[in-house]
Chain A
Amino acid sequence: MKKVKVATVWLDGCSGCHMSLLDMDAAIISLAQKIELVYGPLVDAQEFPEDVDVTLVEGAVSSQDDLNKLKKIRQRTRLLISLGDCAVTGNVPAMRNSIPVQKLLHQVYVEGVQANKIIPTDGVPALLKQARPLREFVKVDMCLPGCPPPAKAISSVIAELLDGKKREGTLAVKFG
């Protein structure tokens, strides 16, 4: 049987959702037989591949770089899943949203440090005005909230997808 191509992406989040993903105990073994992990923090691939079946995205869209990535992912993915509260609601990354970006950077990199009071610009992507959830930028096929979403919820969603079902709304997952 052809393995389902799955990618995971880490945008502005704490990686907790990825931790939860790995936390599914024995279920991960049977899952591994059905899927091929083609991209993500857990594998080596450098470039997001074409023709991915399912992509789980963790984190809010916070920078221009996040946004570019997300748009590319959307083009190359059949089923896009917002994984965790940051991707679904903005969550903690969005707590900066009422502060203007320049003021925020100044507070963190100038007022908040003892030495080297410089706002970094080289090699760091420009922040968007606000960190916002995925579906405010691209079409999202499914949302799995939680901070992090419980491992069981993740594994059952993937398992159901592999069975060809899509049952959003029947999962009793909560925000937070």
Chain B
Amino acid sequence: MPQKKLSVRIDGELISAVEGQTILQAARANGKRIPTLCDLEGLTPVGACRLCIVEISGTDRLFPACTTPVQDGMSVTTVSPKLTQYRRVSLELLFVERNHVCSACVSNGHCELQAMATEMGISTVRFAYNYPKLAVDLSHPRYVLDQNRCILCTRCVRVCAELEGAHVWEVTSRGIHSRIVGDLNQKWGDAKGCTSCGKCVQACPTGALAEKGWAVEEMVKKNDNISSLVRRRGVQA
């Protein structure tokens, strides 16, 4: 059945979209970028990081582009002073939540969080740092989970469940105490369900999941591979 075509305006520009697409998908299909950290093409969107918030004409509310479906005639604004301000707050909060010591991170220079902050011109944060005490799980022979660098985007959870089908990762606890855990809170090395495929590592936007053996700045993620894998398999989230 051919999908219905819709006309949508994004930042004033008229684009055509397909019914069922989210605003983010429609924007991407037309070469428009909307900032996001939790979304990864091919995985079910969750709307967790709220960086992709956009304004829609006719309402005062803000909507996450990753989970809001396009509607015919919709007019979307992706950049405004208010959106920029809120996106900056989001990034500030991510930096203070855990211990993002870029200078000591394998992903330094290749980190989506770091890049986003640079793009938004963030040179400092206005909130006090939490400096929580967090574990680093080195038990897996090939990979590391460093909670200090996790932003709870849950890409690893979804890639493991939706692509690998292993369902190793979950989020435990709630609120500020939320943590990514493997196999009912086992050490990663003891997680029987893990196939060591490494998809979670490649999907992770920061240095929270990394391959062992790399020094600072050396870990380059290939999360395009995930998206192209999805496309090749024809999996549609």
Taking beta carbons and an 8 Å cutoff, which residues of A are in contact with B?
82, 85, 88-92, 94-95, 97-99, 130, 132-133, 135-136, 140, 142-145, 147, 168-176
Contacts and interface: CB of A to CB of B under 8 A. Distances in A.
Contact of B124 (A98, A143, A172): A143
Given A89-B95, A92-B104, A174-B102, A145 B124 contact: yes
A1 B205 CA distance: 51
Given A145-B123, A169-B123, A85 B102 contact: yes
Given A90-B131, A132-B129, A133-B129, A176 B124 contact: no
Nearest to A87: B124
Interface of B: 95, 99-105, 108-109, 114-115, 117-118, 121, 123-126, 128-129, 131-134
Of the candidates A85, A97, A130, the one having the most CB atoms from chain B within 10 angstroms of its own CB is A97
Contacts of A92: 101, 103-104
Contacts of A97: 131
Given A143-B124, A176-B102, A89 B114 contact: no
Contacts of B109: 174, 176
Contacts, number: 81
B124 A140 contact: yes
A95 B99 contact: yes
B215 to A, nearest CB: 14
A171 B123 contact: yes
A85 B103 contact: yes
B123 to A, nearest CB: 4
A99 B99 CA distance: 13
Contacts of A174: 102, 109, 114-115, 117-118
A169 B123 CA distance: 7
Contacts of B131: 90, 94, 97-98, 130
Contact of B121 (A85, A144, A169, A176): A169
A170 B120 CA distance: 9
11 contacts: A89-B101, A132-B128, A133-B124, A144-B123, A145-B124, A169-B121, A174-B102, A174-B109, A176-B101, A176-B105, A176-B108
A176 B103 contact: yes
Contacts of B123: 88, 142-145, 168-169, 171, 173
Contact of B102 (A82, A94, A140, A147): A147
A133 B125 CA distance: 10
B122 to A, nearest CB: 8
A174 B117 CA distance: 7
A81 B108 CA distance: 24
A88 B103 contact: no
